[in-house]
């Protein structure tokens, strides 16, 4: 039986540093009214939707910095309340991103899922993967990306949640209400974000984002046009690939266009199906609704077959993902040239004595002793020529006494 929802990504064009929240909220309400006219049930707005993307600026004045954040309840604050009131009036659910200042003085890049039918927040998410730097660039002409300076990493994790009242005639008993998940911008680039939601049976992932067309992350070899093309490619790549590998729909809503007439953000608002196919995408850099009908039953194909996690995952081999943060490379292979020095000989000694660290049982040392009879093939500690480890070590020390 189909479980069809009508969903929309609400792209917002340029927002200048001088634009008021009242002005921006007015634009958002216009999009919401258009969505209601199209019988949309859920509307996704971008990351940091109420203001320009202020982390591009170095702001040293504390009072000025605080002015970019929403304090207290975002659904009832004077300037932002009209959006949530309109959602209640239209009986449409919305997901919206904003800069959150907590009562404890903490600051997060946040989004909430607000039910227009129930008139309350059903779930909140705080961005986990903060890009950019803490310290500003030394270049006086640089466009900064200071999310690490202004926000703390999110502390709520990736929690999926059910949304009641969306399906006509009620939800299927065996399925329950639709399962949603949220992430923000850079989170979409990390497979871990998606898999944690996928392991909770997520059916719709909502992603608001602000992505520079040309920024600190851009290879210097790329010109602005090629940089924008590459940014769009990477954006769609991760949305489509991870939707497929977790058998879920996904929506992405962009803040796009030329902020302050010069800071360009890519568009790319889109809706992707569980097979990784683009169902709809933005055609402009301005305010735009991207709409698609999504049958959640189509998630079952992936969830019950190729990505039936309970049948195919092998968690005993995934420990490194949670035990390790940065890259730890395997030991370098010892080459013949290295063994012609006392340092190389000493390396052989260390590798033979400390087998646990070097894991030589599984490592072929390519090109070792190629000119020395009888070793004219790559050598491993297990003795590819039939010799024992001790015999090989004796040979090594005879050739290289310093070992």
* Residues annotated as part of the active site: 47, 127, 185
Specify the DSSP element, H or E, that contains 161.
strand 161-162
Tokens 């258009």 -> residue: 34
Bridging pattern class, strands 278-281 and 257-259: unpaired
How many CB atoms lie under 10 A from the CB of residue 53? 23
Asked if 396 and 403 touch (Cβ cutoff 8 Å), the reply is yes
Beta bridge partners of 281: 270
Counting runs of H as helices and runs of E as strands, what totals does the chain give? 13, 15
Rounded CA separation 213/287 (Å): 17
The 3-class SS string of 269-333 reads CEEECCCCCEEEECCCCCCEEEEEEEEHHHHHHHHHCCCCHHHHCCHHHCHHHHHCCCCCCCCCC
């Amino acid at each position: 039986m189909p479980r069809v929802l009508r969903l929309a990504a609400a792209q917002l064009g340029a927002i200048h540093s001088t634009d008021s929240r009242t002005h921006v909220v007015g634009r958002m309400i216009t999009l919401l009214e258009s969505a209601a006219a199209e019988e949309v049930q859920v509307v996704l707005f971008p990351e940091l939707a109420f203001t320009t993307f202020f982390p591009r600026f170095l702001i040293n004045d504390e009072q000025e910095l605080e002015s970019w954040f929403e304090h207290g309840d975002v659904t009832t604050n004077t300037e932002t309340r009209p959006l949530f009131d309109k959602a209640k009036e239209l009986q449409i659910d919305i997901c919206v991103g904003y800069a959150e200042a907590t009562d404890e003085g903490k600051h997060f890049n946040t989004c909430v899922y607000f039910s227009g039918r129930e008139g309350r927040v059903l779930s909140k998410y705080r961005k986990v993967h903060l890009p950019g730097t803490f310290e500003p660039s030394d270049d006086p002409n640089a466009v900064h990306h200071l999310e690490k300076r202004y926000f703390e990493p999110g502390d709520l994790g990736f929690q999926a949640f059910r949304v009641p009242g969306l399906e006509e005639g009620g939800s299927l008993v065996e399925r329950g209400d639709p399962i949603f998940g949220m992430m923000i911008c850079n989170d979409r680039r990390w497979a871990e974000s998606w898999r944690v939601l996928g392991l909770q049976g997520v059916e719709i992932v909502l992603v608001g984002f602000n992505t520079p067309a040309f920024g600190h992350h851009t290879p210097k070899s790329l010109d602005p046009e090629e940089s924008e093309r590459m940014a769009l490619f990477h954006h769609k790549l991760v949305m489509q690939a991870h939707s497929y590998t977790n058998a879920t729909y996904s929506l992405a809503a962009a803040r796009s266009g030329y902020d302050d007439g010069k800071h360009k953000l890519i568009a790319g608002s889109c809706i992707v199906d569980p097979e990784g196919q683009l169902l709809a995408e933005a055609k402009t850099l301005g305010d735009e609704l991207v709409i698609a009908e999504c049958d959640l039953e189509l998630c079952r194909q992936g969830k019950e077959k190729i990505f039936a996690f309970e049948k195919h995952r092998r968690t005993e081999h995934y420990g490194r993902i949670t035990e390790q943060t940065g890259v730890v490379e395997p030991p370098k292979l010892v080459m013949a040239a290295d063994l012609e020095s006392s340092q190389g000989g000493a390396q052989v000694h260390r590798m033979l004595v400390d087998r646990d660290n070097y894991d030589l049982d599984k490592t072929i040392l390519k090109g070792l002793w190629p000119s020395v009879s009888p070793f004219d093939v790559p050598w491993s500690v297990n003795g590819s020529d039939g010799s024992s480890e001790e015999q090989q070590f004796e040979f090594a020390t005879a050739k290289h006494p310093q070992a």
